[in-house]
Structure 1
Amino acid sequence: MNEKLRKWLHRFFGVLTIVLALLLAWQWLQSQPATNPFKKNTNRILTQKQGKYSKKERKTIRDAVAAEDQKGLNLNKQGYIAIPKLSILLPIYDNAYSKVALDKGANTAQKNWPVPVMGQGNYTLAAHNWDNGYTGFSALQEKLKQNAPYEDENGALGKSAWLNGTVIYLANKNGIYRYKVTGQTAVDQNDSSVLNPDERLDNKAKLTIVTCLFPDTTKRIITHAKYLDHHSWQDAKSDELSHFDLKKQKTNVLP
């Protein structure tokens, strides 16, 4: 082998090694949860406002949260959901069985039952998992593009505790409701038992969030959260109000 060919092969395999290393690093990064500090999220939201909100500012935030903004599509506004840890901020409507409604945000999911009430019973919500770690409820999946830990390679359903203790906020015209995540489970797409309006957690009201699993979209990730408390708009802490300050915050309905 002449010297020129040897140098060319050396460079070629050097570049190939770098390319393969970058591809492996990219695949690893894509599989990480949205909260991984190495994962760049260009849609970060829910930074807290410094200082306090005045009575007038509180009313402005409340009115924006409750505003009926999709009446033209026959969608009734229920309020908003915020999960600061995951940069989730979505409006809530009342029809999870409508593609039009799901394209606008989260929706209550109790079919054939009355629309659930925040802070009461089993408040069920559903929104898209866009398989990107930040749009809709995508960030609720522990690792992108991996069925585990919700489903193993043999199809057995599992659970996850990675979000346990995470606080979830719901808001409507009556104030802000706090819930705490107690775990995640997985169910088949046709299993509606998790939507039972009478279901409770430790004899308390609960929140049930439904979103698709990827890549096995025939399964659903169910996030369970226990009701903690409720504060009126006048009594809520300023940092909690800031999650719903729609003049400063961005929703993650779309990328």
Structure 2
Amino acid sequence: MSDRLRKYLHRFFGFLTIFFLVLLCYQWVSGQPATSWFKTAPKKVFTQKPGTYSKKQRQEIADAVSKEDQKGLGINKQGYVAMPKLSILMPIYDNAYSKAALDKGANTSQAKGAAVPVMGQGNYTLAAHNWDNGYTGFSALQEKLKQNMPYEDSSGNFGTSSWLNGEYVYLANRNGIYRYKIVGQSTCDQDDGRVLGPDERIDNKAKLTIVTCLFPDTTKRIITSAEYKDYSPWETAKSSEVMLFDLKKQKTNVLP
């Protein structure tokens, strides 16, 4: 074998080895939780340290959170949703059946014709896009990107996940901040409206139901359930929680 051919084969197999290593690395990264440091480090929403907020500043934040800004689309502002663990911060509107509304943020997803749910009462149902990137919309609610597991196995059987159990979801409107604690995730078909039932409860307590698509099987939905814990008016809410909704400092994660 000539030296020239030997060098060519050496380079070829070297490039081939690097290619497969990169491919394996990509597959490993894709399968990691959305909260892995290398996925979230450059994408943090809540970067500000909490300070103290005066009564006037708290009122300004409350006004900003509830300000109507999409009347031209025929949708009404309900407030904001924040999940610090996942760097989620989005406005909430009232029509999950409108593509235009879903492009603006999260939306209440009550059954058609039903009353818009009320924060802190009954079954508060929310929906937003899963952009399959672990960051924007409700994408970060999926435990592992580009994998149906653990929500659906290879045979199509539904599964559950507890990876977010104990994490808090905060809702805010003009009145104050509502706290919910995640108790689990489940799976349903895209047309299964039972999870939107206004009478759904967790241990007879009000609950929060968050709906988003599963990827790659987009015919299924990830259902994140959280139980209602308590509420604080803006005047007495913790500064660390008020900070979550300080829209002068924080960035939303609505669209890619």
TM-score range, shorter chain: over 0.9
Query: 3-state DSSP class of the match of 2:43?
Result: coil
CA distance in 2, matches of 1:220, 1:248: 32
> In the alignment, does 2:242 pair up with 1:227?
no
CA distance in 2, matches of 1:88, 1:51: 20
Deviates more, 1:32-41 or 1:191-200: 32-41
TM-score (norm 2): 0.97
Structure 1 ranges of 4+ moved more than 6 A: none
Offset from partner CA, 1:75-119 (integer Å, 9 cap, x none): 100000000000000100000011111111000011221100000
CA distance in 1, matches of 2:142, 2:83: 13
Among all aligned residue pairs of Structure 1 and Structure 2, give the percentage whose two residues are the same amino acid.
Answer: 71
CA distance in 2, matches of 1:149, 1:133: 16
CA distance in 2, matches of 1:157, 1:28: 24
> In the alignment, does 2:27 pair up with 1:27?
yes
TM-score (norm 1): 0.97
User: Which amino acid is the alignment partner of residue 12 of structure 2?
Assistant: F
Deviates more, 1:6-15 or 1:175-184: 6-15
CA distance in 2, matches of 1:156, 1:191: 15
Q: How does 1:198-213 map to 2 (within 5 A)?
A: 198-213=199-214
User: How many correspondences in the alignment?
Assistant: 255
Asked if the contact 2:39–2:134 (Cα under 8 Å) also holds between the matched residues in 1, the reply is no
CA distance in 1, matches of 2:48, 2:177: 16
CA RMSD in angstroms, aligned pairs only: 1.1
CA distance in 2, matches of 1:25, 1:184: 28
1:126 paired residue number: 127
Query: 3-state DSSP class of the match of 1:155?
Result: coil
Q: CA deviation at 1:162?
A: 0.5
Q: How does 1:164-179 map to 2 (within 5 A)?
A: 164-179=165-180
Query: 3-state DSSP class of the match of 2:33?
Result: coil
Q: CA deviation at 1:38?
A: 2.9
Deviates more, 1:23-32 or 1:86-95: 23-32
Q: How does 1:43-192 map to 2 (within 5 A)?
A: 43-111=43-111, 112-192=113-193
Q: CA deviation at 1:48?
A: 4.3
2:198 paired residue number: 197
CA distance in 2, matches of 1:38, 1:129: 19
Distance change in 2, residues 1:176/1:99 (3 Å): same
Q: CA deviation at 1:10?
A: 1.2
Q: CA deviation at 1:7?
A: 2.0
Which blocks of at least 5 consecutive residues in structure 1 are unaligned? none
Which blocks of at least 5 consecutive residues in structure 2 are unaligned? none
CA distance in 2, matches of 1:167, 1:46: 15
User: Which amino acid is the alignment partner of residue 193 of structure 2?
Assistant: S
Asked if the contact 1:164–1:180 (Cα under 8 Å) also holds between the matched residues in 2, the reply is yes
CA distance in 1, matches of 2:227, 2:239: 23
